[in-house]
Amino acid sequence: MKKTRISFSSGRLFLEGILAIPEGARPFPAVIVCHPHPLYGGSMDNNVVYSLSETLTQASLASFKFNFRGVGGSQGEFGQGIGEREDVEAAISFISTVKEVDSKRIGLAGYSAGAGFALPVGFNDDRITALAAVSPPLPMFDFDFLKSCPKPKLLISGSRDDLIPTDQFLEFCQNLPEPKECESIEGADHFWWGYESRLAAKVAAFFTKVL
């Protein structure tokens, strides 16, 4: 695995990210991983984001995680969700140009608010092949666009998530079109402490299958 710290542009801002390329024959499918809410301590160093990125790369998928504007070494300030969507679009544009990446096999994953920022962009962007939402905050973001999304999608949450009642999560998943995978992990809460490896293995298996 080769990790490189990246600076890429989102409009007039420069954002920081980490690109991880697996060992082996290239080009690789790739997955962009988007971190939780910037105003509540979310960053690309988050435990879930770290575990997802590491496990994806170990599964022979390139991974790209980055800090939204105003987080860590990324320029700017919180963009009320609008700027963050621009950042996701910029990340897609960046990863599409990486020579080690197969630009026709790119997935997009978001954790918590990261899913709220990322998935609407991935839904509308033809460069994104598949979507994954970890602990999607259904009460706080509008995810209804997924009800008309033909792309492969994974939604995964914890049974003890206090932000997303399990019955609401499962009911939402039932109304989504195929292809889809939906799972509630018994015992995990919104922060996934102690469940990171199990979660990451499921996300990596999904993207390995669909990309």
pLDDT of residue 103: 98
Number of separate domains in the chain = 1
pLDDT band at 19 (very low <50, low <70, confident <90, very high): very high
Region 189-210: what's the mean pLDDT? 98
pLDDT of residue 149: 98
At 122-141, the pLDDT tens digits run: 999 999 999 999 999 999 99
Region 142-162: what's the mean pLDDT? 98
pLDDT of residue 198: 98
pLDDT of residue 14: 98
Whose tokens are 């390329």? That residue is 21
Region 58-82: what's the mean pLDDT? 98
pLDDT band at 52 (very low <50, low <70, confident <90, very high): very high
pLDDT of residue 74: 98
CATH label of the domain that carries residue 64: 3.40.50.1820
Average pLDDT, the chain: 98
b/e map 82-113, b = 16+ CB within 10 Å: ebbbbbbbbbbebbbebeebbeebbbbbbbbb
* Residue 118 belongs to domain spanning: 2-210
Check if the beta carbon of residue 114 is closer than 8 Å to that of residue 36.
yes
Give the residue among 209, 204, 191 at the shortest CA–CA distance from 35.
191
Portion of the chain with pLDDT greater than 90, in percent: 100
pLDDT of residue 142: 97
What is the separation of C-alpha 54 from the centre of its chain, rounded to a whole number of angstroms? 13
DSSP 117-152: HHHHHHHH-TT--EEEEES--TTTS--GGGGG--S-
pLDDT of residue 44: 98
pLDDT of residue 41: 97
Check if the beta carbon of residue 172 is closer than 8 Å to that of residue 133.
no
